[in-house]
Chain A
């Protein structure tokens, strides 16, 4: 009986602390958003962060995009050739990339590479008292350290997603034309007929903007809020990757249901 009560108590305790954490995260966001105007005076902060967050994630995005595009083309071909509809391979490649795989896979890769790096960096600054030191030097660490990273992530994500999709389409094209021997003209014209600019490309970009916001928010908050020890840092980085991934997948469902409801 006591065991049950203890278990219930710990369940209640962890629920309460999760809610508390969620609240802290929102308060944090409310502090970060107005702090972004500081970057109007110091664009160099933003540029530097866009390099470390955006440019350095480019390699993995391009490689992943290429392979994903090629795989979809292969699988789509296998599925469609039985119906004699192999000309629609391009449609499958383009639509699945633009609507789903571009935003989602990019967000997951981004969370793993850039998100965890952000958490580790900020957490380390917290653990070595650099953030505290900045406060005592009358420099607002949220304005100087957090906000540039936040904005850089938010801008980089849609750019990376669109590069992923474009490279994926190229990969699909290569496989379809060179490997499977489909007609190049049919490839592009089928896609043009079925892909809508606003509905598919536009919605995909909206998705990646939303994912970018959420992933970078989680990454930056986990770093800022972490327990400033080496194991606390490790837990925070893992937490970033896990929570961002779950959030992206959950939001993807919600957004897809909202946007692609025929």
Chain B
């Protein structure tokens, strides 16, 4: 094989490799969500986060607006401390917005749903959401149900 043919073949090979990489990155990964790396961070504390994980989505009205960036246990307040990053274009959440841990579908993964309030001031970087609702824990619901049944 002549040197020229070999070099062309190797060039094509490397180009194919990069093309495959781009294709995978573009079409099947959440690259789009990465362009918003410069979101602003807000936080909230929950009694129980259920199955929430880092990088779980944050949604408002079902639309993804950000993701969870950190989960810690606050031993001072005996609560779960969650930090999340909101995409910069969604900067009009009132300060009395409520955050709840919801489940997507019946057995799906858990995410944080934001319900806007009515205040005129908006959440900025470093703000904390006051109104939170914890995840529904199955055992507690069953216990409540049995208790209310027993009362009847």
Interface window among A15-23, A111-119, A195-203, A209-217: A195-203
Count, A-B residue pairs, CB within 8 A: 83
Known: A166-B20, A166-B24. A192 touches B9 (CB 8 A): no
User: Does A165 reach chain B (CB closer than 8 Å)?
Assistant: yes
**A200 contacts B29, CB within 8 Å?**
yes
For A197, list chain B residues within 8 Å (CB): 25, 29-31, 34
CB distance from B50 to the nearest CB of A (A): 15
Interface residues of B in 1-52 (CB under 8 A from A): 1, 3, 6-7, 9-10, 12-14, 16-21, 23-25, 27-32, 34
Also in contact, A201 and B24, with CB within 8 A (given A192-B29, A193-B30): yes
**When chains A and B are docked, how far (Å) is the Cα of A242 from the Cα of B141?**
55
Expressed in whole angstroms, the minimum distance between the Cβ of A244 and any Cβ of chain B is 21
CB contacts (< 8 Å) of A192 on chain B: these are: 27-30, 32
Contact call B24/A44, Cβ cutoff below 8 A:
no
The chain A residue with its CB closest to the CB of B108 is: A85
Q: Closest CB of chain B to A92's CB: distance in Å?
A: 12
A114–B27 Cα distance when bound, in Å, is 30
Which residues of chain B (116-147) have a CB below 8 Å from chain A? none
Rounded to whole Å, the gap between the CB of B17 and the closest CB of chain A is: 3
Q: Determine if A162 and B30 form an interchain contact, defined as CB atoms under 8 angstroms apart.
A: no
- Report whether B28 and A55 are in contact in the complex, using a CB–CB cutoff of 8 Å: no
- With an 8 A cutoff between CB atoms, is B55 at the interface? yes
User: Do B20 and A167 have beta carbons less than 8 Å apart?
Assistant: yes
Residues 36-79 of A at the B interface (beta carbon under 8 Å): 44, 47-48, 50-51, 54-55, 58
Asked whether A262 and B20 contact (CB < 8 A) given A55-B9, A195-B29, A196-B30, the answer is no
Q: How far is the CB of B133 from chain A (nearest CB, A)?
A: 24
Closest residue of chain A to B31 (Cβ to Cβ) is A197
A165–B24 CB distance below 8 A: yes
Tell me whether A48 and B6 are in contact (CB under 8 A). Answer: yes
User: Which chain A residues (140-161) contact chain B, with CB distance < 8 Å?
Assistant: 156, 158-160
Q: B17 near A44 (CB under 8 angstroms)?
A: no
Closest 9 CB pairs of A and B: A159-B17, A166-B20, A191-B28, A197-B29, A163-B20, A195-B29, A162-B20, A55-B13, A51-B6
- Give B residues with C-beta under 8 Å from A: 1, 3, 6-7, 9-10, 12-14, 16-21, 23-25, 27-32, 34, 53, 55
